[in-house]
Amino acid sequence: SCEFCLNSQTFSEKMSKVNNFRRYNPLIDEWIIVAVNRINRPWQGAKTTVSKNSEDTTSSDSRAPPEKNQLAPGGVRSSGAVNEEYQSTFVFENDFPSFTEFEKCAGEEENDDLFKQQEVRGVCKVICYHPDSKLTLATMDLKEVRTVIDIWNQQYVELCPKYDWVQIFENRGAVVGCSNMHPHGQLWASNYLPSIPLKKHQSQKKYFEKHGGKVMLMDYLDKEIAKNERIIMRNEHWTWLVPYWAFWPYETMLLPNRHVERFTDLEETEKQSLSSILRDLLIKYDNIFECSFPYMMGWSGAPTGSFLQQDCSFWQLHLSFFPPLLRSATVPKFLAGYEVFAEKQRDTSPEIAAKTLREMNGVHYSKRN
């Protein structure tokens, strides 16, 4: 099962009808969500997951008959809900969401310099990419990858008017808490701009003001192209690179070649070539250790909701990949002592990671003869 998408209790049974809240850490100027509604959810299979993962990262889930997989067409989820017999993509609301919209149940708010608490509202969804549990974005055909891009776009179109931030992301692999290998990602939309996109908002705005209206990530892309040390792959509309400041061992970023504020601003041809570079890059990732490479993937673009009335032209859309593997298919990067108290650290240079990815075979290891 999956730490973030599925649960093994009846939703209505355990869910207390209170909206969750977030609290402010005044020491490091950062907010934390407190999702008390998720408290009663045990994570079955966690123990097995860890040991299974150390032996076989492709996981046995993909070998189980489709009707056993909670994310497959017709699959029965722990909440009792039954999935549609979907043929392409399929979206449903998370059975144990971190964000809810209980209109009449306001959380307690506090507003002191040391005790700041805000109620949070929103929605959490699971996005199944394909009916076949054995496929991944790296092994689907281009038309199928394109349907995922279209469902992302459709979700943004639907949710952007209402929510200040719509986070589309994917946790792939047991080392990032998802042991269900069925191809799927998630979407969490909230009534506020969360800590990390808020920082990105402020940084890009500051750069824009300081540099006479230049877009930070456009300038950055130009310089990276000139330096040509960290670029992995380019096509007409997109550039895939290892950021100069990458933290995760194989962290990368996918940038549009032109200025694009939001996902919904992408043109037809850009979405088409996105499906191709996205699949190419995931193939290279899988080929590093010849396993279905675990990663955290997330889109970031200009905020929405109340921000739609503001000028956000300093924003540039980007897709980030944070893969946790370091030296083999089973050795994850640990976030440890010094990194949580003082400063994060990486052990290889971003340039070596870029070279490794650039030179990686472009044919998926499972499809070679």
Contact 297/320 with Cβ under 8 angstroms? yes
Q: In this chain, which of 50, 105, 106, 225 binds a second copy, going by CB under 8 A?
A: 50
Closer residue to a second copy in complex, CB, 45/66: 45
Q: In this chain, which of 13, 114, 213, 369 binds a second copy, going by CB under 8 A?
A: 114
Contact 325/347 with Cβ under 8 angstroms? no
Contact 17/105 with Cβ under 8 angstroms? yes
Q: Does 144 bind a second copy (CB under 8 A)?
A: no
Which among 46-54, 61-69, 273-281, 357-365 is the span making contact with a second copy, rule CB under 8 A? 46-54
Residue 202 class from Cβ within 10 Å (0-12 exposed, 13-18 middle, 19+ buried)?
A: exposed
Q: Does 163 bind a second copy (CB under 8 A)?
A: no
Under rule CB under 8 A, how many of the chain's residues touch a second copy? 95
Q: Does 24 bind a second copy (CB under 8 A)?
A: yes
Supply the DSSP string of 162-191, one letter for each residue. T-SEEEEEEEEBGGGTB---SSEEEEEEES
User: In terms of DSSP bridges, do strands 295-300 and 318-322 run parallel, antiparallel, or are they unpaired?
Assistant: antiparallel
User: What is the per-residue binding string for a second copy in 237-276, x denoting contact by CB under 8 A?
Assistant: ------xxxxx-----------------------------
Residue 170 interface partner, choices a second copy, Zn ion, none, CB cut-off 5-8 Å depending on type = a second copy
Which among 149-157, 171-179, 213-221, 222-230 is the span making contact with Zn ion, rule CB under 5 A? 171-179
Contacting a second copy within 301-360 (CB under 8 A)? 320, 322, 326-328, 330-331, 334-338, 340-350, 352
Rounded Cα–Cα distance for residues 194 and 22 (Å): 10
Residue 84 Cβ vs a second copy, minimum distance, rounded to whole Å: 24
When CB distances to Zn ion are compared, the closest residue is 2
Q: In this chain, which of 93, 177, 234, 258 binds a second copy, going by CB under 8 A?
A: 177
Rounded Cα–Cα distance for residues 267 and 79 (Å): 38
Tell the residue number behind the tokens 């996005």, with chain if given.
127
Q: In this chain, which of 165, 238, 240, 263 binds a second copy, going by CB under 8 A?
A: 165
Rounded Cα–Cα distance for residues 123 and 163 (Å): 9
Q: In this chain, which of 12, 42, 309, 367 binds a second copy, going by CB under 8 A?
A: 42
- Residue 143 has which token pair? 């038309």
Residue 339 Cβ vs Zn ion, minimum distance, rounded to whole Å: 14
Residue 360 interface partner, choices Zn ion, a second copy, none, CB cut-off 5-8 Å depending on type = none
Q: How far apart are the first and last CA of the chain?
A: 32
Rounded to a whole number, what is the largest CA-CA distance in the chain?
Answer: 64
Contact 299/260 with Cβ under 8 angstroms? no
- Residue 176 has which token pair? 């990032």
User: What is the per-residue binding string for Zn ion in 125-164, x denoting contact by CB under 5 A?
Assistant: ----------------------------------------
Contact 208/302 with Cβ under 8 angstroms? no
Other Cβ atoms within 10 Å of 38 Cβ, number:
16
Q: Does 55 bind a second copy (CB under 8 A)?
A: yes
Q: What are phi and psi of 316, to 5 degrees?
A: -125, 130
Q: Does 178 bind Zn ion (CB under 5 A)?
A: yes
Residue 177 interface partner, choices Zn ion, a second copy, none, CB cut-off 5-8 Å depending on type = a second copy
Site of interaction with Zn ion (CB under 5 A) = 2, 5, 178
